[in-house]
């Protein structure tokens, strides 16, 4: 049997995409709308009290109006957050459009040999339990590695995959300081194999990195992609503006 990469797994992740039912939201009285917005903001602020991290973005285009991304220690907490949201007044005016369940993942493709427990290494911990940045823009998409005839990632030897991931890592590193990536594994958890969440203060950098990586063998030959969703950072003020009629 071929050798599976050993993964380090961090916080569980939920990407929750919603659209606003504008037609019914517009019919609500100003008072009720303001109360629902206030309650929603209190919910978002409460999210910051628990161990984990959160990101909140408006989504451009018709795929969704906003994304709530939450990282938590357990799957139960992700369910609790979903239920808590469902009980808010604002939830009655949203339509779920997409969601993604995964877990922050690091592989051992590029790890050096060492006897230490990686879960105790502060650099590893910072990546497994990341604080999501307040970057201006987000880009999320799920992806798979191809299993198709001669292009089957899972039939490649560990050495070959390591070599290919090395090249991927080199391109990635050239975007240091411009893009922060969170790779979440979802084999057995959701419909694709990984979720890719990119954060940047320049949306154009998403196009640049994804385009450049398409020419690299890992993506060119083995990458298969789901839908791309991009958006703008939301804070309380912007959310109030978004929901005001
Ligand atoms: C911001 C840049 C950036 C950087 C520095 C970076 C580096 C690295 C390293 C060093 C490693 C391997 C070890 C580990 O840490 O797991 C990975 C791993 C991975 N990557 Fe990556 N990646 C980036 C960025 C980055 C992007 C933009 C994409 C999407 C690809 C595209 O074509 O659209 C991606 C995908 C992945 C995936 C799916 C994996 C897991 C593959 C597996 O088979 O396990 N990644 N990645």
Residue 112, pLDDT score: 82
What is the ipTM for the molecules in this complex? 0.96
Pocket test for ligand 1, best of 183, 186, 207 (most atoms within 8 A of CB): 183
- DSSP bridge partners of 197: 140, 182
Give residue 135's pLDDT: 98
> What pLDDT, on a 0 to 100 scale, did the predictor assign at position 52?
98
Active site residue 175: no
Q: What is the pLDDT of residue 111?
A: 85
pLDDT in tens, the chain (245 residues): 789 999 999 999 999 999 999 999 999 999 999 999 999 999 999 999 999 999 999 999 999 999 999 999 999 999 999 999 999 999 999 999 999 999 999 999 988 888 899 999 999 999 999 999 999 999 999 999 999 999 999 999 999 999 999 999 999 999 999 999 999 999 999 999 999 999 999 999 999 999 999 999 999 999 999 999 999 999 999 999 999 99
State which ligand 1 atom lies nearest to the alpha carbon of 145.
Answer: 43
pLDDT score at 162: 97
Instruction: Answer whether 167 contacts ligand 1 (Cβ < 6 A).
Output: no
- Look up residue 194 and give its two tokens: 């990984």
Q: Which residue puts its alpha carbon closest to atom 22 of ligand 1?
A: 172
Task: Find out whether 127 is annotated in a ligand binding site.
Answer: yes
CA–CA distance, 243 with 90 (Å, rounded to integer): 10
Residue 4 Cα, ligand 1 centroid: separation in angstroms? 17
Distances (CA, A) of 81 to 13, 16, 188, 236: 11, 10, 21, 19
What is the reported pLDDT for 114?
Answer: 84
Rounded to 5, what percent of the chain is helix, strand, coil? 40, 30, 30
List the residue whose alpha carbon is closest to atom 23 of ligand 1.
172
Nearest atom within ligand 1 for CA of residue 216: 32
Q: Which long-range contacts (CB under 8 A, 24 or more apart) does 53-56 make?
A: 53/11, 53/129, 53/130, 53/131, 53/132, 54/132, 55/132, 55/138, 55/199, 56/233, 56/234, 56/239
- Statement: the pTM of the whole predicted model exceeds 0.95: yes
Q: By the 8 A CB rule, do 200 and 136 touch?
A: yes
pLDDT at 113: 81
In this prediction, residue 105 carries a pLDDT of 98
Which pLDDT score, from 0 to 100, does residue 53 have? 98
User: Would you say 96 is a known binding-site residue?
Assistant: no
The ligand 1 atom at the shortest distance from the C-alpha of residue 209 is 27
Residue 143, annotated ligand binder? yes
């Amino acid at each position: 049997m071929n050798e599976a990469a050993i993964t380090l797994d961090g916080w569980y992740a939920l990407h929750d995409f919603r659209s606003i039912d504008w037609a019914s939201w517009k019919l609500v009285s100003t008072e009720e709308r303001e109360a629902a917005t206030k309650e929603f903001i209190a919910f978002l602020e409460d999210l910051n009290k628990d161990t984990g991290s959160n990101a909140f973005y408006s989504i451009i285009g018709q795929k969704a109006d906003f994304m709530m991304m939450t990282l938590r220690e357990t799957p139960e907490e992700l369910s609790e957050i979903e239920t808590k949201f469902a009980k808010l007044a604002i939830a009655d005016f949203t339509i779920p459009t997409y969601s993604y369940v995964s877990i922050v993942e690091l592989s051992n493709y590029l790890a050096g040999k060492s006897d230490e427990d990686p879960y105790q290494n502060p650099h590893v911990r910072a990546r497994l339990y990341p604080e999501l940045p307040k970057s201006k823009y987000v880009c999320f998409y799920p992806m798979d590695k191809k299993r198709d005839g001669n292009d089957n990632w899972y039939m490649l030897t560990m050495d070959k995959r390591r070599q290919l991931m090395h090249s991927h890592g080199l391109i990635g590193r050239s975007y240091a300081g411009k893009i922060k990536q969170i790779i979440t594994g979802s084999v057995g958890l959701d419909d694709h194999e990984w979720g890719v969440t990119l954060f940047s203060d320049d949306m154009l950098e998403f196009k640049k990195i994804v385009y450049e990586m398409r020419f690299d063998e890992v993506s060119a030959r083995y990458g298969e992609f789901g839908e791309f969703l991009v958006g703008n950072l939301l804070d309380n003020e912007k959310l109030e503006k978004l929901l005001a009629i």
